[in-house]
Amino acid sequence: MRLAKYLAHAGVASRRKAEDLVAAGRVRVGGRIVKDPAFDVDERSGVEVDGRPVNPEPREVWIVHKPVGVVSTAREPGRRRAVTELVDSKHRLYPVGRLDVETTGLILLTNDGDLANRLTHPRYEVPRTYRARLRRQPANEDLAALRKGVELEDGVTAPARVRRVSPRVIELTIHEGRNRQVRRMAEAIGNEVVELRRIAFGSLTLGELAEGQARRLRAAEVRRLWKDAGLG
């Protein structure tokens, strides 16, 4: 693993700050100063920062039921609450993808950058399922258009799985993860999302987790996420 990445994964600093620490000569590997942030290391390399040993922190993955008004960032410089504040962990966690501030539901937090990358990279096509309440009842032709793919300003969407739950409520499963994609897809069929909740990410479902609550995933659940992302 690259030295800067190792420091970031160990919770020492962000990737950029870790590179600054390395450039400043504050990092030793096996007793000698290393100034190359790409230097290859692992937990047996004897990494130290300012003379203190650095060991990788244990990997954690949390599921959070994000409420309206909470932002999907690690920190919020303004007055709005950040989703990381809903998790009781001493480790540096980051959201896996984002939900816009008005969208509720399932979001994952983790300090495992490799897992986060695979879950969000379009190549691995990890599905996300949303329940959307629309302004007007969509016609069957509208749902058929969503299933086929609709034209957005950044290109045609991939085919989606769509299920009508009630006259104005649909469940939509996509895997692209474009910015505000579900809301823009509704606009493309001449409608509007008035309430949006993500209810599943890969094999993981929101279940009975209450809004504003979080829990750490069990090992079996994490293994299923890795399988969702293409690794058994």
pLDDT in tens, 198-214: 999 999 999 999 999 99
Domains 3-53 and 127-201 share a fold: no
Q: Which residues are bridge partners to 110 per DSSP? A: 61, 94
Please, are residues 18 and 10 in contact by the beta-carbon 8 Å criterion? no
Q: For residue 12, what are the contacts with CB-CB under 8 A and spacing of at least 6?
A: 18, 21, 49, 54
- Per-residue pLDDT, 10: 82
In this predicted structure, what is the pLDDT of residue 232? 64
Q: Is 114 designated active site?
A: no
Tokens of 2: 């690259």
pLDDT tens for each residue of 153-165 = 999 999 999 999 9
Q: Which CATH number fits the domain 3-53, given the four candidates 3.30.420.40, 3.90.730.10, 3.40.50.12500, 3.10.290.10? A: 3.10.290.10
**Sequence-ordered list of residues with C-beta below 8 angstroms from that of 174, at least 6 positions apart, any chain:** 127, 128, 130, 157, 158, 160, 181, 182
CA distance 129 to 135: 19
pTM of the full structure: 0.82
Positions of the chain with pLDDT lower than 70, given as ranges: 75-78, 232
Q: Which fold has domain 127-201?
A: Alpha-Beta Plaits (3.30.70)
pLDDT of residue 148: 97
Of these residues, 20, 40, 100, 154, which one is catalytic? 100
CATH number of the 61-122+204-228 domain = 3.30.70.580
For the chain, domain boundaries: 3-53, 61-122+204-228, 127-201
pLDDT at res. 222: 96
